[in-house]
Amino acid sequence: DGGITQSPKYLFRKEGQNVTLSCEQNLNHDAMYWYRQDPGQGLRLIYYSQIVNDFQKGDIAEGYSVSREKKESFPLTVTSAQKNPTAFYLCASSMRGEDTEAFFGQGTRLTVV
């Protein structure tokens, strides 16, 4: 089945630790995105990548890092510099170009204690 897979679904980490969230897609999409969703707020863009080996900061990139070494994979690292890392993280992919729909993964709920 074609789709976009995020793992794990739930993740717990201690404060001060870096953590990496996985996102893999087999839709052959060039573009991939990371969003963060907090209660009562819309999805906020963290990073996006339009092509392999290239990525850009979104609206809330501070405290996060990404890599795009393969077309299928776009992992997100939440670093200890992120002040409020507890949130629901969503990865998405789409074809390049305008007016194309985004396909989302099922999300990773990160809790930092």
Partner 1 sequence: SQKIEQNSEALNIQEGKTATLTCNYTNYSPAYLQWYRQDPGRGPVFLLLIRENEKEKRKERLKVTFDTTLKQSLFHITASQPADSATYLCALDNTGGGNKLTFGTGTQLKVEL
Q: Interface residues with partner 1 (CB under 8 A)? A: 6, 31, 33, 35, 40-45, 48, 50, 58, 88, 90, 92, 94-107, 109
Q: How far is the CB of 16 from partner 1 (least distance, A)?
A: 27
Number of CB atoms found within 10 A of residue 29's CB? 19
Q: How far is the CB of 88 from partner 1 (least distance, A)?
A: 8
Residue 77 or residue 103: which is nearer to partner 1 going by CB?
A: 103
Q: What is the SS3 string spanning 37-77?
A: ECCCCCEEEEEEEEECCEEEECCCCCCEEECCCECCECCEE
What spatial distance separates the first Cα and last Cα of the chain, rounded to whole Å?
36
Residue 85 or residue 105: which is nearer to partner 1 going by CB?
A: 105
